Structure 1
Amino acid sequence: MADDAAVSALREIAFWLEKQNAPTYRVRAFRRAVAVISELSDLDRRVESGRLTDLDGIGRTTAAVITEAHAGDTPGYLQKLRDEAETPEHGEAVRAALRGDCHAHSDWSDGGSPIAEMAAAARWLGHEWMALTDHSPRLTIARGLSAERLREQLEVVAALNRHMAPFRILTGIEVDILSDGGLDQDEDLLASLDVVVASVHSELRMEAAPMTRRMVAAVRNPHVDVLGHCTGRLVGGRRRPQSTFDAREVFTACRDHDVAVEINSRPDRLDPPRELLGLARDLGCVFSIDSDAHAPGQLDWLDHGCSRAEECGIGPDRIINTRSAEEMSA
């Protein structure tokens, strides 16, 4: 039988590595170790005899973590990661007010972890809810969900919600905004979801006028709740310039149709830029601070968005994910 302390330590290490955006192989080593020891019936004997590394999937580092946790100690590697965790300079009040996350992915599309694992991490972080927003079918590179697969996912979510209550997984999607402003999923399905994030993922260099019409048309759709990473930019190592559009017209449409402008917290996006956040603030928009997480540890990237919100004078009263799950689904 698995040792709860060892499993917990391995999972927390994977979480901190994901938050650091560490190479995938490092994260997988710890998640693989969880799977290995969860199947063991002789963990005590293997720890005592020092034979953990005889197991396929257990290396020296993971064996040391298991051994220390099994003895009741905090593994040194885990403590090191905890000590290295960055404390945000701004945004603590905003972060404390958040009750959930409107944008997260699972291994049903291009995320790396099962729905249950993502939800468990969100609950561990203190969230009351998490919206599951896997991609829509047109984004084939991200294994976007067909209508049939999305319906299957809704059944899985319903079962998990019965098991995880009072924590709640809100049903959702990150739906592609098509070139004509249409949405890449059946209207009846979109109407049944708790949270619909609409994002542009293709033709990002479209000229400003048609891009503006495209985004405004999507925002006017009555099923859309959040306009995701509106400029499409990437920053840091893998750069991509922001799309061009009439931000005033797009944000005015967001305000008039009660669609939140997403403050995307991914370190490689941090979208929209501060000047556009200021414009949306001045126009009276509401916002959603989202992790856009593709792994459990990335759910804690919300700190970045909270810091940017505070810097731009956006308080909790303008942020929709300070609401309860019931308010969000309504």
Structure 2
Amino acid sequence: MRSLPPLEAPVDPVEALRRVGFLLERSRQHSRRVEAFRGAVGVVRDLGEGELAQRVEDGRLTELAGIGKSTAGVIEQAVRGDLPDYLARQQEEHGGPLVEGGEDYTAAIIGDCHLHSDWSDGGSPIEEMVLTAVELGQEWMVLTDHSPRLRIANGLSAARLTQQLDLLERINASVGDAFTLMSGIEVDILDDGTLDQSEEMLGRLDLVTASVHSKLRMAKGAMTRRMVAAVSNPRVNVLGHCTGRLVTGGRGTRPQSEFDARAVFEACAEHDVAVEINSRPERRDPPDELIELALEIGCLFAVDSDAHAPGQLEMKAYGAQRAERLGVPLERIVTTWDAERVREWARRA
């Protein structure tokens, strides 16, 4: 994975708006600001080139629904051949490296086992997530929208997941051989360790990331049994954000769940399940000492973005820096493997 180089004039207005949205997401700006620029992309794409130029000339851009003062300014300057001032400021303020260190590991990470689209609680269409991943130099990703019982995140029923699988086939056909979009799910681990999706549907997916999202304060023994049961399921490939902690951010903080980490990670190693290094800054999950324990036990790892927007795909740099600092061998990080190797590893049921 690489960082995007700064845009220079002349720049297409759609690309200018996309890059502003990306940089706002990358720097975790308010979602309403992001939505304004992402929404303006669709408005501009629906206009003919002649109509766009005429509206710029007449000063009538803001008459269009979804175009405000800031987005109109970006469009006007781009149409006139200039680098938009708003874009230039965002590139100056938020275009640098996300984190110091981990550059070699970041470059080696070519995939992602955990990300979301607007089919569940993500903010962008699948196609935009794929396009941005290609621009970042990724070779593959697994779409892992949420499972049904996580209603707050618009989890996918079996019927909606079936529809999504059909769309993924069409997207893969359109991108060709340079990129692979794999089918997946972030399946909720239920109280008894079973999975929140049918066996038949899980069997149709390339890869399954399983995570606990409810009753995070469950007693230690019960939580241990719950997680061990889940990672022992032959359909599970990755254990997502295992402690559930939040260390910063708009949602506040949350203590980590209590469980016998050695028992859980030994089960992961036994069943060839990767322990996720969740790269979101508000999670940083697992904490360092648990990564070191999983490393000692012999686990595989997946450095994932848990992206809910295109600009968050680059957050894997945070996880890569931690993995390098803690001495996790690149060979044990499945997100450095090529797509075919990942598919073969995940196809164990």
- Report the TM range for the smaller structure's normalisation: over 0.9
Tell me, yes or no, if structure 1 residue 101 matches structure 2 residue 112. Answer: yes
1:198-277 residue pairs with structure 2 within 5 A? 198-237=210-249, 238-277=252-291
Correspondence for 1:48: 57
**1:128-153 superposed Cα distances (whole Å, 9 cap, x missing partner):** 11100011111111111111111111
**Do 2:116 and 2:143's aligned partners in 1 also have CA atoms closer than 8 Å?**
yes
Shift of 1:114: 1.1
Correspondence for 1:66: 75
Mark the runs of 5 or more structure 1 residues left unpaired by the alignment.
none
Shift of 1:4: 7.5
CA distance in 2, matches of 1:181, 1:30: 41
Shift of 1:242: 0.3
Counterpart AA for 2:79? H
Mark the runs of 5 or more structure 2 residues left unpaired by the alignment.
1-9, 345-349
Shift of 1:174: 0.4
Correspondence for 1:91: 102
Counterpart AA for 1:100? G
Secondary structure of 1:101's partner? coil
Tell me, yes or no, if structure 1 residue 30 matches structure 2 residue 42. Answer: no
Shift of 1:44: 1.2
**What's the C-alpha RMSD, in Å, of the aligned pairs?**
1.4
Counterpart AA for 1:108? W
**Do 1:171 and 1:195's aligned partners in 2 also have CA atoms closer than 8 Å?**
yes
Counterpart AA for 2:111? G
CA distance in 2, matches of 1:84, 1:312: 29
Correspondence for 2:134: 123
Counterpart AA for 2:314? D
Shift of 1:79: 2.1
Shift of 1:49: 2.8
Tell me, yes or no, if structure 1 residue 185 matches structure 2 residue 192. Answer: no
Correspondence for 2:26: 19
Secondary structure of 1:170's partner? strand
Query: How many correspondences in the alignment?
Result: 328
Shift of 1:76: 2.1
**Do 1:212 and 1:249's aligned partners in 2 also have CA atoms closer than 8 Å?**
yes
Counterpart AA for 1:277? I
Q: Output the TM-score relative to the length of structure 1.
A: 0.96
CA distance in 2, matches of 1:274, 1:5: 43
Counterpart AA for 1:13? V
CA distance in 1, matches of 2:167, 2:42: 21
CA distance in 2, matches of 1:145, 1:44: 41
Counterpart AA for 1:275? E
Q: Output the TM-score relative to the length of structure 2.
A: 0.91
Correspondence for 1:279: 293
**Do 1:136 and 1:145's aligned partners in 2 also have CA atoms closer than 8 Å?**
yes
**Do 2:11 and 2:81's aligned partners in 1 also have CA atoms closer than 8 Å?**
no
Change (3 A) 1:78 1:315: farther
**Do 2:279 and 2:303's aligned partners in 1 also have CA atoms closer than 8 Å?**
yes
Counterpart AA for 2:131? A
Counterpart AA for 1:30? F
CA distance in 2, matches of 1:263, 1:296: 19
**Do 2:228 and 2:264's aligned partners in 1 also have CA atoms closer than 8 Å?**
yes
